[in-house]
Homo-oligomer: A and B are copies of this chain.
Amino acid sequence: MVDRRGRPRRAETGPAILDAAMELLREAGYGGLSIEAVAVRAGVTRPTVYRRWPDKAHLAIDALSRAVPIAAAPDTGDTRTDLHLLAHGLVDRLVRTGLAPVILALHADSIGREELAGPLRELYLRPRLGTITDVVTRGIARGDLPPGTSPATARDLLAGPLVYRGLVAGDITDADVDELVDAAWRALTAPASGTG
């Protein structure tokens, strides 16, 4: 049972802080996010922010989890098409909105800090990667993908090259996406081949 004594929290405060954080993440990136600026923009004092989030990483995780939409898993009847749609949607939502560097920085910040990595996985990542799992699961059921296909591997093969291309090249075109999804498809569907 929660303790209901004392003045209750204002309902508007939380969302106002999260909105302010998102705006600042978009404008200045993860490195440019500061609790101070968030508080000012949300019309709130710093201790009020700290009362709800312990530091800017947790705040950023919550802000992103709330602001980045979770795409519905496409279901066209053809798994390969579904993966193409998925990948284009992913790129649209992150690269084209400029949030990709924010999410990368946040991941980088979280590596080795389980108190961050946990929430990041559970709140941000899992719901979004669930879409891939859904498509893969359906693909197996439909016979488009081999029965033993691991959703985690599929996720890495699909998202990994896309992320890496964006990271290294700085940008990514629709043709890039198609090329890399096709490659992932081959990796998922081709029979294992020996060395010789």
Give A104 to B111 CA distance when docked, in angstroms.
10
Q: Which residue of B lies closest to A161 (CB)?
A: B160
What's the number of copies of this chain in the assembled complex?
4
> Cβ of A122 < 8 Å from any Cβ of B?
no
Question: Is B160 in contact with A165, judged by CB distance below 8 angstroms?
Answer: yes
Q: Separation in Å of the A19 CB from the closest CB of chain B?
A: 23
Give A78 to B180 CA distance when docked, in angstroms.
25
> Which of B111, B169, B195 lies in contact with A167, CB distance below 8 A?
B111
- For residues 107 through 128 of chain A, which have their beta carbon under 8 Å from a beta carbon of chain B? 107-109, 111-112, 114, 117, 121, 125
| Residues of chain B with a CB closer than 8 A to A112's CB | 98, 101, 170
Q: Which residue of B lies closest to A163 (CB)?
A: B164
Q: Mark A54-79, 1 if CB is under 8 A from B, else 0.
A: 00000000000000000000000010
> Cβ of A105 < 8 Å from any Cβ of B?
yes
| Residues of chain B with a CB closer than 8 A to A184's CB | 187
| Residues of chain B with a CB closer than 8 A to A121's CB | 168
Q: Separation in Å of the A143 CB from the closest CB of chain B?
A: 12
> Cβ of A186 < 8 Å from any Cβ of B?
yes
- For residues 81 through 117 of chain A, which have their beta carbon under 8 Å from a beta carbon of chain B? 81, 98, 100-102, 104-105, 107-109, 111-112, 114, 117
> Cβ of A157 < 8 Å from any Cβ of B?
yes
Q: Mark A6-49, 1 if CB is under 8 A from B, else 0.
A: 00000000000000000000000111000000000000000000
| Residues of chain B with a CB closer than 8 A to A195's CB | 78, 80-81
